[in-house]
Structure 1
Amino acid sequence: MKNVDELCSLIQEIIDEAGGHAEEKVDPGTPLLISGLVDSLTIMRIVALVEQRTGIAFPDASVVAKNFRTPTALWEAIEVVRGGATHEGAVS
């Protein structure tokens, strides 16, 4: 996974597989939690696939609501875990 657009596609795929349907395509600013598009089980599926596709281990401390507000927030958290982000505090 190379960018937030690929992450959006992954999230869309998971939502569709779970039987949920976004009214519009998931984009970097889509509100995931507020809209009800994701729940705790969906979040765990996202984490598992992110780990599989990126080869990183997503720490439990990073699996918090603020990192799942939007795909952009999650991407920033992924970048912090990878060690390549400049957004301090995006993980906690």
Structure 2
Amino acid sequence: MLCGLKKYHPKAIERRKSSPRLMVYDTALMTVVSGRSRELLLGDSELRGHLVKSAVGARLLALGLDLGFDVQWWREGNDEVDFVL
């Protein structure tokens, strides 16, 4: 249902210091707990962006299991990459 994405960093100690980013395998988990209607969810651009990002992440996680790659995330300062394969 949920997994924690590790932060990408070349040094193992830096990867372990960072908290994992939680990802859902199915965006229905996000929408049902919000208690909002579909129209309200899609009308809120910030929430819609989170849903799209989560849908892409869920697909990458599924492909990673099938094709044998890891999905991670990266951030340094204000620069951020949602998914590093």
- TM-score by structure 1 length? 0.25
Structure possessing the higher radius of gyration over alpha carbons? 2
TM-score, normalising length: structure 2: 0.26
